[in-house]
Amino acid sequence: MNKISVVEVRNALDQWLKAFNDNDIEALMTVYDPEIVYANSAKPLEIGIPVVKKGFIDGFVIKPKVFFKEEQTIAVDGLGYIAGQFKITGTNPEDDNAIEESGRVVVVFRKNASGQWKLVFDMDNRPPDVTI
């Protein structure tokens, strides 16, 4: 495991977290690889930036914020993997009630030809052992 690669992958995730928490769809999409596969436990499989972007635009209506707790990071040979727990909070625009959900996520980053780490696979679930 290359320590520099691990730091680079964490930096890419930090870029994603900032863009998400800012609800900045354009900045968020710059983190994604054109071949992104997004497997969210609450909806059908999404493939490609245009499809993923639409899902986030729809989701940003609640003005979400995400909190992330890293559990494992591995980076080797141009691939990086991060697993952890997340909690998303927001506000229902219809009734102003708080929204909160927690789960576990695995993201895979791939280093592209330009040397940038891009998110190529994103999968989450909602197991009962999440403590965040």
Task: Report the distance separating Cα 77 and Cα 111, nearest Å.
Answer: 9
pLDDT of residue 1: 56
pLDDT of residue 80: 96
Residue 100 in domain: yes
For the whole model, what pTM was predicted? Answer: 0.93
Tell me how many domains the chain contains.
1
Give pairs for 55-58: CB < 8 Å, separation 24+: 56/25, 56/28, 56/29, 57/25
Residue 9 in domain: yes
**What's 43's domain CATH number?**
3.10.450.50
Residue 132 in domain: no
Domain hosting residue 27, numbered range: 3-125
Residue 26 in domain: yes
- Where are the strands (E) in the chain, listed by range? 32-39, 46-47, 65-76, 79-91, 98-111, 117-125
> Which residues, 6 or more positions from 113, have their beta carbon under 8 angstroms from its beta carbon?
none
Tally of CA atoms within 13 A in the half-sphere of 10 that contains its CB:
14
Task: Report the distance separating Cα 102 and Cα 35, nearest Å.
Answer: 26
**Distances in whole angstroms, Cα of residue 51 to Cα of each of 32, 96, 100, 114:** 12, 27, 24, 24
Instruction: List the pLDDT tens digit at each of the 132 positions of the chain.
Output: 566 789 999 999 999 999 999 999 999 999 999 999 999 888 899 999 999 999 999 999 999 999 999 999 999 989 999 999 999 999 999 999 999 999 999 999 999 999 999 999 999 999 888 888
Residue 131 in domain: no
Residue 61 in domain: yes
Residue 80 in domain: yes
Residue 91 in domain: yes
| One-letter amino acid of 56 | F
